[in-house]
Amino acid sequence: DGGITQSPKYLFRKEGQNVTLSCEQNLNHDAMYWYRQDPGQGLRLIYYSQIVNDFQKGDIAEGYSVSREKKESFPLTVTSAQKNPTAFYLCASSLWEPGVEADTQYFGPGTRLTVL
């Protein structure tokens, strides 16, 4: 089945530790995205990547880092510099056709990160 997988589902971290969230897709999509979701705030874009080996900051990139070494994978690292990392993190992917209509983003099941 085609889709997006995120692991782990739940993650606990001590303050001061970096942690990496996994996101893999087998939809052959060019673009991938990371969002953070907090109650009452909707989804906020952290980073996005339209092509392998390239990525751009979103609206709340501080304290986060990403890599895009393979088309299928877009891991997110939450660093110790992120002041309030406890949140629900969602990965998404889409086709990428510059100048054409906005393509539908398909979402993974999410990872809930809790900092202890």
Partner 1 sequence: AQSVTQLGSHVSVSEGALVLLRCNYSSSVPPYLFWYVQYPNQGLQLLLKYTSAATLVKGINGFEAEFKKSETSFHLTKPSAHMRDAAEYFCAAGGATNKLIFGTGTLLAVQP
Q: DSSP assignment, residue 73?
A: B
Residue found under tokens 């969602």: 90
Q: Which two tokens stand for residue 56?
A: 């751009």
Q: Is 34 one of the binding residues for partner 1 (CB under 8 A)?
A: no
State which of residues 1, 15, 41, 54 lies at the interface with partner 1 (CB under 8 A): 41
Cβ proximity to partner 1: between 85 and 108 the closer is 108
DSSP 28-60: --SEEEEEEE-TTS-EEEEEEEEETTEEEE-TT
Q: Which lies closer to partner 1 via its Cβ, residue 72 or residue 103?
A: 103
- Where do contacts with partner 1 occur on this chain (CB under 8 A)? 4, 6, 31, 40-45, 48, 50, 58, 88, 90, 92, 94, 96, 98-110, 112
